[in-house]
Structure 1
């Protein structure tokens, strides 16, 4: 018999879904029945259905900061999404909503507010994304990952909780990771991750420097859908994947260094695993600049090195990777001194307090 019912929401990228999944085991231990509201064709649908959680679909319009002809039609999709979400909430009668942001979350949050259901949201980046900005007035509490984020949250709604880390990420097996890649020597391992959709610019630079890098490292390259280089599939010491799920904890455990974008969920996983990291944040040309802020925060704490995308010229990437190797012990010491906050417990306490109120 369940004590409470929670409906989770969030979508658009894996970063809007995996933190929700990180909370699931502890929520179940606390007696929560868990269901999910997402879009009809977003990445969240595929991820959640694999997790054996009931999934409800709603209409969702994408929220944009730039001009697009769809900006005239998508508000009607959001309105329909609110109606869809309200119908689901009427039937399911949850005690609380947990929102991880993304465009699909806005209709759910508004519908919950209209139904007087408490809403706890979570923002991964230093500055709130557009979806969380729109949702904030309708939320009971907004949990944030970075201390710097509190100044962007009004009306004392902000709570510093950190980012929830999936427990399975911490339980990888180094030997399984090496076996999965067929690495048999003792070279240090470099893991490249370009986000859930991959990064063509990082892929290009890695492959441009591949021969030099392979003298120093074995390389695991998670390059994104349709980004495999078929000419390098049998390259010794170089293992490519489009996307990795179950094996990712083993690959991360096996890695000595990581090159990555600077999405908050990922970088806090690297921090928890104490992996020296080179962050290449999305440029302001392709984003609102949140990854640049995330990366610089980690750089200032001494956890990571940072290379701006605009600096990816000639042998800049190779030189930065060699610098990363030379500063390995220094970076690990800084991470050891970091805050050991249990983010999952913090967030669940906020959820429970919201229900009680």
Structure 2
């Protein structure tokens, strides 16, 4: 059996697929260590998985502002030294990184020690970490149809994002019973990603009464430190009680999405993969300041595949009507669910696990994997 390091910290969108892959590798008898950041969101999520060893590697995000730039180089140097010491002690057989600022030190350390490296990009616009570090990789996993210009000698495979086993579609009434929600009323779930969204939280507060008037209950995950928690009770136009819930964090994403008639969210790749797994329609409002506008590209592809609709952040004023039009259109919701069911058929974890096993053991890659010539832009 092999020993793997999975570098996946910094955001839930990096950590969640890392956990999913780790559990699949452990189930096949391998040894895995997660490399995560010191951020609260990482600590909160890994607490659920005490059977998965995790190391908090020194790291910091990149930026051009002088103090941010200096901190990046200082922390990444610490991360490189930490990774070298760890690898000297544990001798891993392979490393896989899911992008983000925790990847640099461990990938460079792996290259220096001759350990094969794989990288996974979930977004439809490859991020800075993947673009820079791919020159050190033996494997690169990209979303279907995505190309990375200018890379040579890397084995590329197109596959989706691993999703944790616990995130799975449940019967709607069962999911609502677990959450204590009304089974008869429409439910809008609002997600701002692992960091939360101030704009979506504010929109929820401002439109809560109007949504309740239409008989729509709301479950809003605000993000840690980005909103007040609690249950609000308002009344619909027929006088019925309509309760809405605000929480800072939820580790029951599969239950939430299964309970929802509609999800309103940002468009991080992790959220979209979970929506597909739970076959839950969505109105997506991409974060407009995401690097390289990758959330807009993610959301547009999701819409083109028939999983939901996209609303630009600057169109916030029309969002209420869009939500009402979709959530009460049962024909459209069913059409979205059928499309999402089609999208959910791929098993990306098995694809990646089998390929990583061959990488760790030194087995030649499958015949359909080829060294990549310089590619054109997507």
TM-score for both structures, normalised by structure 1: 0.90
Once the two structures are overlaid, the 10-residue window that deviates more, 109-118 or 234-243, is 234-243
Of the candidates 144, 149, 152, which is equivalent to residue 146 of structure 2? 149
Query: Where does residue 351 of structure 1 map in the other structure?
Result: 356
- 1:272 lines up with 2:277 in the alignment: yes
For 1:35 and 1:323, the matched residues in 2 are separated by 46
**Structure 1 residues 185 and 273: alpha-carbon distance in aligned structure 2, compared to 1, 3 A threshold:** closer
Query: Where does residue 208 of structure 1 map in the other structure?
Result: 206
For 2:115 and 2:78, the matched residues in 1 are separated by 19
For 1:187 and 1:42, the matched residues in 2 are separated by 34
TM-aligned CA deviation for residue 84 of structure 1? 1.2
Query: Where does residue 67 of structure 1 map in the other structure?
Result: 65
Of the candidates 258, 282, 293, which is equivalent to residue 287 of structure 2? 282
For 1:230 and 1:167, the matched residues in 2 are separated by 28
- Work out whether residues 61 and 72 of structure 2, in 8 Å CA contact, stay in contact via their aligned partners in 1: yes
SS in 2 for 1:292: helix
CA-based RMSD: 2.1
Structure 2: state its 5+ residue gaps. 235-241, 363-378
Query: Where does residue 297 of structure 1 map in the other structure?
Result: 301
**Structure 1 residues 205 and 40: alpha-carbon distance in aligned structure 2, compared to 1, 3 A threshold:** closer
Runs of 4+ residues over 4 Å off in structure 1: 229-232
**Structure 1 residues 60 and 275: alpha-carbon distance in aligned structure 2, compared to 1, 3 A threshold:** same
SS in 1 for 2:355: helix
**Structure 1 residues 41 and 199: alpha-carbon distance in aligned structure 2, compared to 1, 3 A threshold:** closer
Structure 1: state its 5+ residue gaps. none
SS in 2 for 1:209: helix
Of the candidates 216, 238, 248, which is equivalent to residue 244 of structure 2? 238
For 1:249 and 1:231, the matched residues in 2 are separated by 21
TM-score for both structures, normalised by structure 2: 0.86
Query: Where does residue 224 of structure 1 map in the other structure?
Result: 223
Query: Where does residue 262 of structure 1 map in the other structure?
Result: 267
For 1:238 and 1:82, the matched residues in 2 are separated by 46
For 1:129 and 1:239, the matched residues in 2 are separated by 34
